[in-house]
Amino acid sequence: MNRTDQTLLEQMRITELEIENRKTLFNISVEDAEILSGVKPQIELEIDRLVKQFYELQTNVPEIALLIGDADTLGRLRTAQRKYVIDLFSGFYDIEYVNNRLRIGMVHKRIGVEPKLYLSAVQQLKKLLMELIETLFINQPEQCILVQSALEKLFMFDISLVFDTYIRSLISEIESSKEKSEDYAIELEKKVKERTIQLEMVSRTDPLTGLLNVRHLNEILTQILRAAQRRLEPVSVAYLDINDFKQINDEEGHQRGDEILRTVASAINRVSREEDQCFRYGGDEFCIVLPQCTENQASEIYSRRLIEEIQQHEPELTISVGYMQAGPVEYPTAEEIIHLADQHMYQAKHNFKHNNEETNLL
Ligand SMILES: Nc1nc2c(ncn2[C@@H]2O[C@H](COP(=O)(O)OP(=O)(O)OP(=O)(O)O)[C@@H](O)[C@H]2O)c(=O)[nH]1
């Protein structure tokens, strides 16, 4: 429920029973209420003078004058104070009376009146009222004591209510700043998670080609091998190297070399399935892990399609590819598989260059 949907009394769980409890606590009896209401007509006659005198004394304190600030506010305060003093002598200290006291506490807290200033104002008002009662009952000392005692109790009752709202406001402030800092912590945690994912992505990918970084090759291949071994499925690795890449770099420039690396990476991405893992091994070398794929399928289907795809963009470019299959019986380690695929690639390159030389000699 929204705070504005509840009265202060409801927010602070002050019921009629609680009000009666408080009256008992401060010894406020029905007689006290009657005694105070009996003085009301005389107080009303003196009220303007009393309130005027009260604010003259109050505004002499620089701290209070600063808080009041201007003549309009002072005017409003005078009206409120006048009403308060009359309420003190109303004889009705019920829910409405209590709600007004609670509101005063809340307003004091909101405009920044410290408890010491509030208490000094109460003390001032009480002193003026006690003096007034003394003059009113100069010839009835016993009655004077009864009125003063009833008033004293009522002041204590009021102070307790005002302080309760002060304390409640402070608790609300603490709760709201706690909520804010908790929200901030949650937000921060979310950002850190997002950032961590981004950083992981960056560290997982090769910046030039966008393929996976070689740092994770062993780890990922090991995971794939374990899963394949559980299901007795084959896994193949295709190890790919661009032929005479150094020459391209030397003759056409490094930027052109980069462009070719990106073209090959895009072609790899296009022909690979979602479950295939494509790595830039370094320089002009690439490694593709092909789950559920035999060496034959890798060389006959995958590589053929890859070469076709590359040559659509770079007709002059040739590549050498070595393959190594693991499973469904034997599962060498990730290092062994990569090493063997690399050796097979060198063999393929050797054959390619040898054939080329022979062709050139013919
Ligand atoms: N443009 C570019 N060149 C790179 C990059 N990384 C490595 N190289 C170059 O790639 C070339 C690879 O040369 P080699 O290992 O001799 O390979 P190759 O010229 O293809 O020779 P073979 O493999 O025998 O066909 C070297 O000149 C490296 O400097 C890169 O990120 N961008």
Half-sphere exposure of 29 (CA within 13 A, CB side): 6
Distance separating alpha carbons of residues 156 and 222, to the nearest angstrom: 78
| Judgement on whether residues 159 and 289 belong to the same structural domain of the protein | no
- Percent of the chain residues topping a pLDDT of 70: 97
Look up the pTM and report it.
Answer: 0.54
Extract the runs of DSSP E, i.e. beta strands, from the chain.
Answer: 212-213, 235-242, 277-282, 285-291, 319-326
> Measured between alpha carbons, how far is 166 from 161 in angstroms, rounded to an integer?
9
Region 198-218 average pLDDT: 86
Are 17 and 99 within one domain? Answer: yes
Half-sphere exposure of residue 239, counting CA atoms within 13 Å on the CB side? 25
Bigger pLDDT: 359 vs 21: 21
281, 284, 318, 355, best to mutate for ligand 1 pocket (most atoms within 8 Å of CB):
284
Residue 286 region, left (φ>0) first, then alpha (ψ -120 to 50), else beta? beta
Question: Mutate which of 243, 245, 351 to test ligand 1's pocket (most atoms within 8 Å of Cβ)?
Answer: 245
Domain that holds residue 317: 212-361
Closest residue by CA, ligand 1 atom 16? 246
Q: Give the CATH number of the domain where residue 75 resides.
A: 1.10.490.10
With respect to residue 160, please indicate whether it lies within any of the assigned structural domains: yes
pLDDT(106) > 60: yes
Q: Rg (Cα) of the chain, in Å, rounded?
A: 45
Same domain, 240 and 343: yes
Q: Are residues 45 and 168 in the same domain?
A: yes
Taking the CA of residue 208 as reference, the ligand 1 atom at the shortest distance is 31
According to the per-residue pLDDT averaged within each range, which of 99-108, 197-206, 248-257 is highest? Answer: 248-257
| Residues near ligand 1 (Cβ within 6 A) | 208, 241-247, 249, 254, 257-258, 261, 283-284, 349
Calculate how far, in angstroms, residue 245's C-alpha sits from the geometric centre of ligand 1: 5
Residue 194 lies in a domain: no
Q: What are the beta bridge partners of residue 285?
A: 241, 282
Assign 244 to helix, strand or coil. coil
- The set of residues, in sequence order, having a beta carbon less than 8 Å from that of 151 and lying 6+ positions away, is 36, 88, 126, 129, 130, 133
Query: Would you place residue 313 in the very low, low, confident or very high pLDDT band (cuts 50, 70, 90)?
Result: confident
**pLDDT above 90: residue 163:** no
Are 111 and 164 part of one and the same domain? yes
pLDDT digits (tens, 9 = 90+) for 280-294: 998 899 999 999 989
Query: Is residue 197 one of the residues assigned to a domain?
Result: no
Task: Give the Å distance between the CA of 246 and the centre of ligand 1.
Answer: 4
| pLDDT, mean over the chain | 88
pLDDT(277) > 70: yes
**Same domain? 169 vs 237:** no
Same domain for 174 and 262?
no
Counting the structural domains of the chain, the total is: 2
Which residue minimizes the CA distance to atom 14 of ligand 1?
246
**pLDDT band at residue 360 under the 50/70/90 scheme:** very low
Tell me which of 130, 163, 183 is where a domain ends.
183
**Residue 337: inside a domain, yes or no?**
yes
Verify that 135 and 12 share a domain, yes or no.
Answer: yes
Quick one: tokens of 125? 């008002």
Q: What is the CATH number of the domain that holds 311?
A: 3.30.70.270
**Mutation choice for ligand 1 from 209, 249, 318, CB with most ligand atoms inside 8 A:** 249
Tokens of 313: 């963009």
Most confident of 97-101, 114-118, 224-228: 224-228
Atom of ligand 1 nearest to the CA of 249: 1
- Phi, psi dihedrals of residue 280, rounded to the nearest 5°: -90, 120
Q: What are phi and psi of 324, to 5 degrees?
A: -150, 130
- Asked if residue 200 belongs to a domain, the reply is no
The better pLDDT of the pair 45, 168 is held by 45
- Distance (angstroms) between ligand 1 centre and the Cα of 283 equals 5
Reported confidence tier of residue 10, pLDDT bands at 50, 70, 90: confident
Atom number in ligand 1 closest to CA 256 = 1
Q: How many CA atoms lie within 13 A of 319 on its CB side?
A: 30
* pLDDT band at residue 361 using 50, 70 and 90 as cut-offs: very low
Ligand 1 midpoint to CA 284 (Å) = 5
Can you tell me the distance from the alpha carbon of 21 to that of 14, in angstroms, rounded to the nearest whole number? 10
Residue 8 lies in a domain: yes
**Domain assignment present for 198:** no
> DSSP assignment of 302-327, as one string?
IHHHHHHHHHHH-TT--EEEEEEEE-
Assess: ipTM above 0.90: yes
State which of 132, 166, 183 marks the end of a domain.
Answer: 183
Instruction: Please report how many Cα atoms fall inside a 13 Å half-sphere around the Cα of residue 156, on the Cβ side.
Output: 13
167 and 311 housed in the same domain: no
Q: Which two tokens stand for residue 308?
A: 């076709």
- The reply to whether 150 and 69 lie within a common domain is yes
> Do 318 and 271 belong to one domain?
yes
Site of tokens 């005027």: 52
Query: Do the domain assignments include residue 195?
Result: no
> Is 220 found in the same domain as 179?
no
